[in-house]
Amino acid sequence: MKLQELASALLITHIHGNAETEITGIEADSRKIKPGYLFLCIPGLTVDGHDYAPKAIALGASALVTERVLDLPIPQLVVKDARYAMAALSAHFYGYPSKEMKIIGFTGTNGKTTSTYLLEKILRDQGFITGLMGTIEMKIGDNYYEMERTTQEAVDLQSSFRKMCEHKTDYCLMEVSSHALELGRVKGIHFRSGIFTNLTQDHLDYHKTMEAYAAAKGLLFSRLGNGFTSNPAERQYAILNADDEASAIFSKLTAAQIITYGISQECDVRAANIRMSAKGTEFQLISFAGEAYFQMKLVGKFNVYNALGAIAAALAEGISLEAIRNSLESLSVVEGRMEVVDEGQEYLVLVDYAHTPDGLENALSTISEFAEGKVITVFGCGGDRDRTKRPIMGKVTAAYSDYLYVTSDNPRTEDPEAILADIRPGLQEVNYPAEKAEFIVDRKKAIQKAIEGAGPKDVILIAGKGHETYQDIMGVKHDFDDRLVAKAAIRGRGR
Ligand SMILES: CC(=O)N[C@H]1[C@@H](OP(=O)(O)OP(=O)(O)OC[C@H]2O[C@@H](n3ccc(=O)[nH]c3=O)[C@H](O)[C@@H]2O)O[C@H](CO)[C@@H](O)[C@@H]1O[C@H](C)C(=O)N[C@@H](C)C(=O)N[C@H](CCC(=O)O)C(=O)O
Ligand SMILES: Nc1ncnc2c1ncn2[C@@H]1O[C@H](COP(=O)(O)OP(=O)(O)OP(=O)(O)O)[C@@H](O)[C@H]1O
Ligand SMILES: N[C@H](CCC[C@H](N)C(=O)O)C(=O)O
Ligand SMILES: [Mg+2]
């Protein structure tokens, strides 16, 4: 594509240099530039992409997108807002792929990843080709890709969508993080539906206040539904959790047709008579499309919510309640979410991704309902992330645990001891007995000690890392998998 043609995606631009320059690729990271590529100079929160233009040129960049003319020897497309331009130009470069499939976006503090897999299962069982992108991985056709972040940068996102189209994807199920919404990574994407899971505290390091965090999430819904259509295939839906008060705000923001789901409120897709055990969850589903009795293998009331959101989205796609039920009943586990580590031992070991106060509350309240012995929790808090959630996470785990191992969970560039010190006041606030809590920086040792101390009917929750296979210390990702460490520890003590 020629620079001139790319520029046509924006009304106000200025081309400095040869407009006929051929563009063979488009990137916003100088380290990924190949000969012939256009390099987008993005002023970031930590560095300014304009400073990396010489590096991009050295790697063969043929043109730049800038916010000001740089004294450099290649053509430049000067724009008002490089981040906005990144989204718009990437969509144009890749031929607007989000219009060629149905993209369903999931947003909310907890439950996004889980919910994408539930809906993926339902859609795949109907013979649809699905793509998925989120915290664990990206799937395109039969190919799996590692993800750097939950929601990709706009330029990577549009490229991934194009690949999905090449694989004849019918539906793309994607997690839409609040960072992505705030930073415009998903601007201009045509979503079929937006699903809201819930809003509780996280990421206040970035958003500062819960109001700002909610406003970021709201962007998914405020962009939905404009331009009514008689074609049901083009309709857009906002699928909202009626039991979460943020839904009232989102319903005012959106022009999409709203489908509500929940347990305690009157809504379009509702679960009643919920029965929970260590083996799964049962509930009566009452919906605008009829009623059915569900028996799922996923544990915890929070998974009923995740199921309801997925059911609502599937009903909007015209899938029958019976088919939806068959799919959800056959799904056993989502990786790293309440995943059982089974080496034939007498105590239960669960690895879960709970890394927020509400996630821990949900995981632990579920466990407390079926635990016959002690509840032993191993957890930590991420470095370079919301510090204010640390004591609250300490308080929540203390409330439910007979024994606590407070340890590291991706300290990143922070001092691990300092993170542990931030958690401690939460335990003190509820007068948690000091002799029942150990603070051990080394996560492997903490897991080993928890397992060594377990009695026959005890439940050990290892929270925070779920599917992760690394421990990020000072920017270096060391191999670390809670499930493997736990397995080795169980075998080490002779089960
Ligand atoms: C707060 C946040 O999300 N920041 C993201 C944002 O950073 P930024 O705007 O500060 O960019 P920057 O690092 O200053 O760089 C500016 C520009 O220079 C470029 N650059 C930089 C260095 C270089 O050598 N060459 C170069 O070209 C960068 O590619 C970028 O275009 O854009 C960068 C480029 O895309 C991201 O790497 C960076 O993610 C940071 C590392 C991050 O940790 N993000 C996390 C918090 C995140 O996004 N999490 C969410 C939520 C997870 C969830 O709870 O579900 C996610 O979606 O994963
Ligand atoms: N609907 C829910 N409500 C509250 N907690 C939940 C819900 N679903 C899952 N959880 C808890 O939160 C943890 C994270 O779940 P999941 O990975 O599905 O969320 P996510 O929104 O994708 O998180 P992230 O923001 O890190 O991508 C789970 O391991 C579980 O403990
Ligand atoms: N998406 C979340 C994941 C947190 C997972 C936990 N293991 C941590 O590192 O804090 C975040 O980036 O805040
Ligand atoms: Mg996720």
Give 341's contacts (C-beta < 8 A, 6+ positions apart). Answer: 349, 350, 351, 483, 486, 487, 490
Mean pLDDT value of segment 288-299: 96
Confidence of residue 362 (pLDDT cuts 50, 70, 90): very high
Indicate the residue type of 318.
Answer: G
Tell me if 178 CB under 6 Å of ligand 3.
no
**Could you give the C-alpha distances from 309 to 63, 115, 125, 178, 305, in angstroms and in order?**
44, 7, 17, 18, 6
Mean pLDDT value of segment 158-183: 97
Instruction: Supply the pLDDT for residue 33.
Output: 98
| CATH number of the domain located at residue range(s) 97-330 in this protein | 3.40.1190.10
Tell me if 385 CB under 6 Å of ligand 3.
yes
Angle at 63 between CA 62 and CA 68, to 5 degrees: 155
Q: Which of 351, 384, 410 to mutate to test the pocket of ligand 3 (most atoms within 8 A of CB)?
A: 410
Tell me if 113 CB under 6 Å of ligand 3.
no
Sheet holding 348-352, edge to edge: 339-340, 348-352, 459-463, 375-379, 403-406, 437-439
Tell me if 107 CB under 6 Å of ligand 1.
no
Tens of pLDDT along 10-34? Answer: 999 999 999 999 999 999 999 999 9
Tens of pLDDT along 37-51? Answer: 999 999 999 999 999
CA 305, 309, 312, 318 torsion-angle sign:
negative
Give 181's contacts (C-beta < 8 A, 6+ positions apart). Answer: 107, 216, 217, 219, 220
Tell me if 47 CB under 6 Å of ligand 1.
yes
Confidence of residue 420 (pLDDT cuts 50, 70, 90): very high
Confidence of residue 201 (pLDDT cuts 50, 70, 90): confident
Nearest CA to ligand 3 atom 3: 355
113 annotated as ligand-binding: yes
Judge whether residue 142 has pLDDT over 90.
Answer: no
Ligand 4 mean position, distance from CA 265 (Å): 26
Mean pLDDT value of segment 150-167: 97
Judge whether residue 200 has pLDDT over 90.
Answer: no
CA–CA separation, 182 and 121 (whole Å): 29
Ligand 1 mean position, distance from CA 246 (Å): 27
Q: Could you state, in order of their start, the residue ranges of all structural domains in the chain?
A: 3-86, 97-330, 339-493
410 annotated as ligand-binding: yes
Nearest CA to ligand 2 atom 15: 111
Angle at 149 between CA 148 and CA 153, to 5 degrees: 95
DSSP 436: G
Confidence of residue 63 (pLDDT cuts 50, 70, 90): very high
107 phi and psi, to 5 degrees?
Answer: -130, 160
Tens of pLDDT along 253-280? Answer: 999 999 999 998 889 999 999 998 888 9
Tens of pLDDT along 278-292? Answer: 889 999 999 999 999
The residue whose two tokens read 């190919």 is 143
Q: Which ligand is nearest to the CA of 111?
A: 2
385 annotated as ligand-binding: yes
Tens of pLDDT along 439-463? Answer: 999 999 999 999 999 999 999 999 9
Percent share of the chain, pLDDT over 70: 100
> Rounded mean pLDDT of the chain?
96
Judge whether residue 343 has pLDDT over 90.
Answer: yes
Nearest CA to ligand 3 atom 10: 382
Q: Which ligand 2 atom is at minimum distance from the Cα of 305?
A: 1
352 annotated as ligand-binding: no
Tell me if 114 CB under 6 Å of ligand 2.
yes
185 annotated as ligand-binding: yes
Q: Which of 34, 52, 200 to mutate to test the pocket of ligand 1 (most atoms within 8 A of CB)?
A: 52
| β-bridge pairing 143-145 and 138-140 | antiparallel
Confidence of residue 245 (pLDDT cuts 50, 70, 90): very high
CA–CA separation, 364 and 249 (whole Å): 29
Confidence of residue 390 (pLDDT cuts 50, 70, 90): very high
Judge whether residue 205 has pLDDT over 90.
Answer: no
Cα Rg of the chain (Å, integer): 24
Percent share of the chain, pLDDT over 90: 91
Instruction: Supply the pLDDT for residue 5.
Output: 97
Indicate the residue type of 232.
Answer: P
Contact between 258 and 249 under an 8 Å Cβ cutoff? The reply is: no
CA–CA separation, 107 and 213 (whole Å): 11
Cβ contacts of 471-480, under 8 Å, gap ≥ 24: 471/408, 471/409, 471/410, 471/443, 472/383, 472/410, 472/411, 472/412, 473/408, 473/410, 473/411, 473/412, 473/416, 474/411, 474/412, 474/413, 475/412, 475/413, 480/443, 480/444
- Where are the strands (E) in 342-486, listed by range? 348-352, 375-379, 403-406, 437-439, 459-463, 470-473, 476-479
Indicate the residue type of 149.
Answer: R
Helix (H, G, I), strand (E, B) or coil at 374: coil
Indicate the residue type of 340.
Answer: V
Contact between 182 and 92 under an 8 Å Cβ cutoff? The reply is: no
Tell me if 179 CB under 6 Å of ligand 1.
yes
- Where are the strands (E) in 263-341, listed by range? 269-277, 280-287, 290-296, 339-340
Mean pLDDT value of segment 102-117: 97
Find out if CATH 3.10.180.10 is the number for domain 339-493.
no
Ligand 4 mean position, distance from CA 432 (Å): 31
Right CATH for 3-86 from 3.40.50.800, 3.40.50.720, 3.30.590.20, 3.40.1390.10: 3.40.1390.10
Helix (H, G, I), strand (E, B) or coil at 403: strand
229 annotated as ligand-binding: no
Tell me if 305 CB under 6 Å of ligand 2.
yes
